[in-house]
A and B are shown apart, each in its own frame.
Chain A
């Protein structure tokens, strides 16, 4: 079973993603901060990280930078409430597999995850 870590400080977003993706047969763990995300990724070595940008303690892009130092292989989907995220040069240059903009259509979520990690 493929493992996904969802890092988002909004509990209801985590629950939603969990519901949608569990139904598709993924094993989902939710974390509420960047620090927890790094710890969780080390612990469970997931197949995908879905990463929010604005989180307490650590910015999503910082989480990404730290992760990339030790792990270049992990697929990452950035999911943010900033509408023009893909315009941002820092995001454009960072090494991620996809961007999702909130509110995310659950079909788009499913398809994107499927494209990035496979069934």
Chain B
């Protein structure tokens, strides 16, 4: 255990998960990427030693799961060393990967280093469609070969499919693919509209009927494949009745470290102006968890306004997503408009319905160094 007090505020429950965004480099260019619009360049990435120190602090603080993510985490030369550090510290390592590029070549070494689990993204079932969405030719065969190697080694595999207008007709296909590849879990995650997905919302938003159909397909498959495949379903916010507890509640479960070492309560938190983020290069993880202004800003319920403040769901969904509240309501402390109790909910749903009915515009693909700002539309703020 390190010399610093691991958690200077024992009254605040310790975090359970660390999303380690090792790099923003990625061969794919998915238009719904959760990374920020302004991506970190390689020259700003933390070095191996710093990541290893961060992981040591994480273990001391009470973190159990580490999600090695990015960008594409296998683009880092030291991914095997970082995985080995997790294993040595007893941290559960989860590789969140695109499965393309160098991923397959490093898999055996990652296995030997003690990797616990692989989450592989699949953009579509039909190769042509999948490669259009991911913005990379010849990606699909690489992914399938990667998946086979994962299960061949005996590593547990989860497929992650982000669902939107361009692939919502393939939900049944994703389920079949997961079974065929020997995955134990499948995430059918409807797009959450932050970051790049917010920019591309009009191109991605499905209509309500298709969303409902996708939910029915998942429910039937869960019953049919019970004991064989676990299917996690994330329903799209805009059509939901209540918002989701973003990241399990602000500053309650998760810490997110960016490639450059900035520590966020959730991956989109940087979109909220005025929040002060601390860096792992300047503070210990425990200090950041307890004291960083970005973490204390919306932790608990004291910051809430009505209707959240007196709502009996306030400790269930913690007011929903702060970033979405900002994007849609213009106020990060407002009730997430995805909530049916928000005065803006009807407008949000109407907006989704309207966008889903129009001809989809082309994707704005994720690119490092792109000069894109969140578009100021007539709906922002509503």
Q: Do A and B come from one complex?
A: no
What is the interface of chain A, defined by CB distance below 8 A to chain B? Answer: none
What is the interface of chain B, defined by CB distance below 8 A to chain A? Answer: none
